[in-house]
């Protein structure tokens, strides 16, 4: 099955649930779709994929911002900064993966592999 029709079907299904667009197509996913990564929307992705995407995205962004605004001025070592960013990213990834898993169950959404495109 071609990816674009499947993605469009998933987005239409999510829009029909009443979930906000920024929730079912978050900025990170829209950016990754634009650069050509063939990822499912977060409600259709696995818990592990959501964890990895959100943990890495948040951890890197938050770590860089905190380094330039706070940690470098406090004299924090690079290792400690990376560890702090990693822990923050892991916690955020865990929370977001659980949030999207809950949303998928609440709206009775099928797994990405079972999603059908509309004729």
Summarised one tens digit per residue, pLDDT across range 10-66 is 999 999 999 999 999 999 899 999 999 999 999 999 999 999 999 999 999 999 999
Q: Is 79 domain-assigned?
A: yes
E strand or H helix at 102? helix 78-106
Please report where in the chains the tokens 């001025």 appear, as a residue.
Answer: 73
Q: Is 119 domain-assigned?
A: no
Give the dihedral sign, CA 62/68/73/76.
positive
Q: What is the pLDDT of residues 76-90, one digit of tens each?
A: 999 999 999 999 999
Mean pLDDT throughout 67-83? Answer: 96
Q: Is 39 domain-assigned?
A: yes
Token digits of residue 91: 């916690």
Q: Which one, of 56, 28, 45, 51, lies nearest residue 98 by Cα?
A: 51
Q: Is 56 domain-assigned?
A: yes
Q: Is 51 domain-assigned?
A: yes
Q: List the domain range (segments joined by +) for residue 45.
A: 3-114
Q: Which one, of 47, 59, 62, lies nearest residue 96 by Cα?
A: 47
Please report where in the chains the tokens 């923050």 appear, as a residue.
Answer: 88
Distances (CA, A) of 13 to 42, 59, 66, 79: 13, 30, 38, 43
Domain count across the chain = 1
Which residues have C-beta within 8 Å of that of residue 106, sequence separation ≥ 6?
none
This prediction's pTM: 0.88
Q: Is 66 domain-assigned?
A: yes
Which residues have C-beta within 8 Å of that of residue 88, sequence separation ≥ 6?
58, 59, 62, 63
């Amino acid at each position: 099955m071609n990816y674009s029709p499947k993605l469009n079907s998933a987005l239409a299904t999510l829009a029909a649930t009443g979930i906000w667009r920024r929730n079912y197509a978050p900025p990170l996913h829209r950016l990754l779709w634009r650069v050509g990564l063939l990822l499912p929307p977060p409600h259709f992705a696995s818990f592990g994929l959501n964890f990895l995407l959100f943990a890495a995205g948040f951890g890197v962004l938050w770590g860089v911002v905190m380094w330039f605004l706070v940690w470098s001025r406090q004299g924090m070592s690079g290792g400690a900064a990376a560890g702090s960013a990693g822990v923050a990213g892991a916690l955020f990834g865990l929370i977001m993966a659980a949030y999207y898993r809950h949303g998928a169950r609440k709206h009775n959404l099928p797994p990405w592999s079972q999603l059908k495109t509309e004729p």
